[in-house]
Amino acid sequence: MSPNAKKRTVRGRSSTRTPPAGARRRTPGRVPRLLLGLGLAASVAAGWAFLSSGPAGTTAAQPSAVVQSLAVRIHRELPHDTGAYTQGLLWWDGKLYESTGQYGRSDLRRLDPATGAVEQRADISPAYFGEGLARVDDRLIMLTWKAQRAFVFGLERFDEQRTFRYEGEGWGLCNDGSRLVMSNGSNRLTFRDLRTFEVLGDVAVTLRGFPLTQLNELECVGDAVYANVYQTDFLVRIDPDTGRVTHYIDAAGLLTREERRGVDVLNGIAFDPGAGTFYITGKLWPKMFEVTFEE
């Protein structure tokens, strides 16, 4: 079965551009929430080791286990559709592409990064819960959560072209230039063939030696893979060769208390290689942020 994708162009939301927020810089921190959010509460020592950028205190962290913290520097805010349950986000050729989830509300979108306006949209059949998104040449591959199907759409017209089958759940997806990288909610990343979607291998992701589960939306940048960690405000940077988390990014506090009403979790990360900036947002969030991650 394939999704009944209907192409339709929608007029974007307000084209008024949110004034640049300036380069607000946020500093990572807040130990208890971090420990809770990343499921490391079982080991205070491990949590402390995670927070340390070096072998500090009483921890016996090895140099290879050092995890560096990066701060979020906000360069710009733009509107984001509060109806978009963001599951996948990528940048390509001056546009953002977003996949959204929930049964009956999943779709594929092209956005104008200048305004956040939705320029084109294709609805997914109500039978499917949309998940991560990756581009391969002139096609977009969109995962589904539990249906074990990935739908392939033409990049330009969002025309449905084919369906891949896979085992297990689909969460995040990115293209590192030679293969696809896919998450499924566990600590495992699966590598897949760009053309056939066949499994090429996998890697277990660890944070200071502990499995880091709930890896969600992904972004391939150079030799690294960035991942949202589901149910947290944290992103991690992973070395896909070893599975080791090399950096963590605390993205909490992007939205004001008022803006957080009714929204779901942080999810969605895209990289614009021309500008060297990332776009991050969340499920049903009213805003998207163009940011850099800095030491």
Minimum CB distance to Ca ion, residue 44 (Å): 33
Minimum CB distance to Ca ion, residue 49 (Å): 28
DSSP 8-state class, residue 187 = S
The two structure tokens encoding residue 227: 């991942």
Residue nearest to Ca ion (CB): 219
Minimum CB distance to Ca ion, residue 159 (Å): 22
Neighbours of 50 (CB within 10 A): 25
CA distance 81 to 84: 5
CA distance 35 to 33: 5
- Per-residue contact string for residues 253-272; x = within reach of Ca ion by CB under 5 A: --------------------
Q: Which of residues 73-112 bind Ca ion (CB under 5 A)?
A: 89-90
Q: Give whichever of 187 and 267 is closer to Ca ion, judged by the CB atom.
A: 267
Tell me if 144 sits within 8 A of 127, measured CB to CB. Answer: no
- Count of residues that interact with Ca ion, criterion CB under 5 A: 3
| Interaction of residue 219 with Ca ion, rule CB under 5 A | yes
Which among 112-120, 193-201, 215-223, 246-254 is the span making contact with Ca ion, rule CB under 5 A?
215-223
φ and ψ of 246, to 5 deg: -100, -25
Q: Give whichever of 34 and 90 is closer to Ca ion, judged by the CB atom.
A: 90
Minimum CB distance to Ca ion, residue 231 (Å): 18
DSSP string, 121-180: EEEPPTT--EEEEEEETTEEEEEESSS-EEEEEETTT--EEEEEE-SS----EEE-SSSE
Minimum CB distance to Ca ion, residue 134 (Å): 7
Q: Give whichever of 87 and 186 is closer to Ca ion, judged by the CB atom.
A: 87
Q: Give whichever of 212 and 220 is closer to Ca ion, judged by the CB atom.
A: 220
Neighbours of 111 (CB within 10 A): 27
Which residues are at the interface with Ca ion (CB under 5 A)? 89-90, 219
